[in-house]
Amino acid sequence: MTVVAPFGLSVRDEALEADVQAGLAAVEEGLLEAAKSDVPFVTGAAQHLLRAGGKRFRPLLVLLAAQFGDPYAPGVVPAAVVVELTHLATLYHDDVMDEADMRRGVPTANTRWDNSVAVLTGDFLFSRASNILADLGPEAVRVQARAFERLVTGQIMETAGPAAGRDPIDHYLEVLSGKTGSLIAVAGRFGAMTSGAPDSVVDVLTQYGERIGIAFQLADDVLDIASDSHESGKTPGTDLREGIQTLPVLHVRAAAARSGSREDLELCALLDGDLTDDARHAEVLTRLRAHPALAQARRDTIRYAEEARAMLAALPHCAARSALEGLCEAVVERTG
């Protein structure tokens, strides 16, 4: 019997499915508890995005990685809560930086309240994650601190842009490795580490997490252009409208620089214009959907997913490994 886990992942093992579903339910309870405050306003703001839902991709990875040790070890669920709280906190800050209006189909905290409330709510969630993390021991604290340093560095690099002479695509992929890959790598690492898995398994799942994390973000880049209804609650072309240079756009610019073709140069000129204008936005979206750059971005997504899958060859054959392989397929299928 095939049952369906979160994120459209098919799990052909009922025992694993039961473990994952029970673990995710415990994580959800832990998240709600961690987002509570003695001040009702703070609770409302902290639980705002949490209650809007989400894929829970990072907790899912923690729980699957824990299958290579003792999945019922006491640190597994708290580790999953820490990773998701950290992710949620970054979303509050990202929405302020991007001046976003919607997230997961609901108004962002900065729209519902203001930027100060959004930033401080993110800080509140970081503090709650740190409090839980302290109980997992100094090594877990060190792992999280190093990943957070990479995450922030990636965000700074994105804001600063590529250095003179640096390939913008290489720069972008390095940004994603820090902004997205680092925390998803922690999810794999924490799951294996807190379950008592061997060090070799911890290393494999950390590297797997980094690669699947980049593939996950690249799939979002493709979906922002290619899909009719975006899974995250954002409408198609949201990144375009906000002026975010995602991988398909960078491939268009690279193609224009190589070929100098009139069509590519015209598209670049449109991209440089005011994409809050509905007519211009629609034209750019139509052109991008027909451009080879979108297919190239899909191929890049597949490459990172295949690299992630290849890492798993070092792990023993089991239901959890099959599920992690299926996760690679699920990420790629989102771009189809």
**pLDDT given for residue 16 in this prediction:** 92
d(CA 117, CA 299): 40
Task: State the Cα angle at 173 between 170 and 177, rounded to 5°.
Answer: 135
- Contact 168/268 with Cβ under 8 angstroms? no
Task: Identify the pLDDT of residue 8.
Answer: 52
Q: Which residue has the higher pLDDT, 252 or 7?
A: 252
Judged against a pLDDT cut of 60, whether residue 67 lies above it is answered with yes
Per-residue pLDDT at 262 exceeds 80: yes
| Most confident residue range from 33-47, 206-220, 238-252 | 206-220
- pLDDT at position 54 over 60: yes
Contact 85, 31 (CB under 8 A): yes
Range name among 40-49, 246-255, 287-296, 311-320 with the lowest pLDDT average: 40-49
How confident is the model at residue 296, as a pLDDT? 97
- Residue 9 bridge partners (DSSP): 5
Nearest-angstrom CA–CA distance, 290 and 275: 18
pTM of full prediction above 0.85: yes
Contact present, 136 and 82 (Cβ < 8 Å):
yes
- Rounded CA-CA distance 301/173 in Å is 11
pLDDT of residue 52: 80
Query: Between 177 and 1, whose confidence is greater?
Result: 177
- Mean pLDDT over 317-325 rounds to 95
Tally of CB atoms within 10 A around 272:
10
What is the mean pLDDT of the segment spanning 95-102?
Answer: 65
pLDDT at 92: 80
CATH number for region 11-333: 1.10.600.10
Distances (CA, A) of 228 to 9, 27, 271, 288, 335: 21, 31, 20, 14, 12
pLDDT at residue 217 in the model? 93
- The CA distance from 55 to 232, in Å, is 8
Predicted confidence band of residue 144 (pLDDT cuts 50, 70, 90):
very high
Highest mean pLDDT among 39-43, 116-120, 242-246, 321-325: 321-325
Checking if the pLDDT of 332 tops 50, the result is yes
Using the Cα atoms of residue 178, residue 20, residue 22 and residue 51 in order, give the sign of their dihedral. Answer: positive
Give CA–CA dist 335/288, Å, rounded.
14
| Tokens at 141, concatenated | 């604290």
Q: Where are the domains of the chain?
A: 11-333
Q: Identify the pLDDT of residue 105.
A: 65
Is the pLDDT at 244 greater than 70? The verdict is: yes
Q: What is the pLDDT of residues 160-183, one digit of tens each?
A: 999 999 999 999 999 999 999 999
Q: What is the pLDDT of residues 199-237, one digit of tens each?
A: 999 999 999 999 999 999 999 999 989 887 544 455 778
Are residues 148 and 93 in contact, defined by beta-carbon separation less than 8 angstroms?
Answer: no
H helices present in 227-318, as ranges: 238-241, 247-259, 262-271, 278-290, 292-311
- Confirm if 193 and 140 have CB atoms less than 8 A apart: yes
> CA–CA distance from 169 to each of 251, 276, 317 (Å)?
8, 25, 36
Percent of the chain, pLDDT > 70? Answer: 90
Among 86-100, 187-201, 212-226, 258-272, the least confident range: 86-100
What percentage of the chain has pLDDT greater than the value 90? 69
Q: What is the pLDDT of residue 3?
A: 36
What is the reported pLDDT for 286? 94
Strand partners, 107: 102
Of 126-130, 191-195, 213-217, 231-235, the one with minimum mean pLDDT is: 231-235
Q: Do strands 9-11 and 3-5 pair parallel, antiparallel, or not at all (unpaired)?
A: antiparallel
